[in-house]
Structures are given as structure tokens and as C-alpha cells.
């Protein structure tokens, strides 16, 4: 997905997000909306777990999980599917190494890439 395509998708999803009813909205997200879309696209396309995404986006696993659920709902409403990558890119190995360097307990939480 090119940067302009991602920008158009983000704008369309932001419009859908603003149309959602807000009953007890809670605290605002700690992640900016464009980053929420990118986090979800990465999760759906590359399949990393929530721990590496949390480290990459400087947030918690719970926030990464909730973000992907909320944004995936918007993607469904927009009729946009993100196909998984046929093979995981080598960059995932680098991401795993970065997560392990950041959090020594992460080895118990993330799966190695093939």
C-alpha cells in the first residue's frame, strides 16, 4: 500500500469513526488516529503479535489489541480487506530482535518468525 493510498484510507476511516455513536467514550486513545490505522494494517498484513506492535508504537499490548479491533471494525464498514502477506518479510526478524532488546520478558510473549 502506497503512502497516498494509506492517507486516503485513513481519511475515509476517520470519517466513519466520527459517525460512530459515542456512548461513554472513555479516555481518548494514546495513539493518533493515523497510527491506529497503520498499526491495524501492519497487524492484518504481516501478522505480528500485539507485543511487537505495542513496542513499535510505544503503547501497551492492551491498547494495541483494542486499536486493532476498533479499526478493523471501521475497515469492515468501509469494505476494505487487508490481505495477509504471502511470506513474512525479513523485517519481522529485525522487529522481533528490537522487541527482545527492549523487553527481556517478551521472549515468552512473541512467536519467532519462520
**Euclidean distance between CA atoms 88 and 78, whole angstroms:** 26
Q: How confident is the model at residue 3 (pLDDT cuts 50, 70, 90)?
A: confident
CB 50 within 8 A of CB 111: no
> 76, 113, 83, 84: which is closest to 96 by C-alpha?
113
Mean pLDDT score across all residues of the chain: 82
Residue the block writes with cell 469492515 = 76
Query: Which grid coordinates belong to 50?
Result: 500485539
pLDDT tens sequence across 43-85: 998 888 888 888 889 899 999 999 999 999 999 999 888 888 8
| Per-residue pLDDT at 47 | 83
| Per-residue pLDDT at 32 | 92
| Per-residue pLDDT at 86 | 76
Given a cut of 60, whether residue 101 has pLDDT beyond it is yes
Amino acid at each position: 500500500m502506497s503512502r497516498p493510498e494509506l492517507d486516503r484510507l485513513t481519511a475515509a476511516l476517520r470519517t466513519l469513526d466520527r459517525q460512530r455513536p459515542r456512548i461513554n467514550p472513555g479516555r481518548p486513545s494514546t495513539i493518533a488516529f493515523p497510527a491506529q490505522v497503520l498499526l491495524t494494517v501492519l497487524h492484518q498484513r504481516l501478522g505480528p503479535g500485539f507485543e511487537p506492535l505495542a513496542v513499535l508504537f510505544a503503547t501497551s499490548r492492551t491498547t494495541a489489541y483494542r486499536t486493532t479491533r476498533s479499526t478493523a471494525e471501521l475497515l469492515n464498514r468501509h469494505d476494505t480487506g487487508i490481505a495477509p502477506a504471502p511470506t513474512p518479510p525479513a523485517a519481522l526478524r529485525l522487529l522481533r530482535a528490537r522487541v527482545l532488546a527492549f523487553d527481556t520478558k517478551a521472549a515468552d510473549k512473541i512467536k519467532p518468525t519462520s
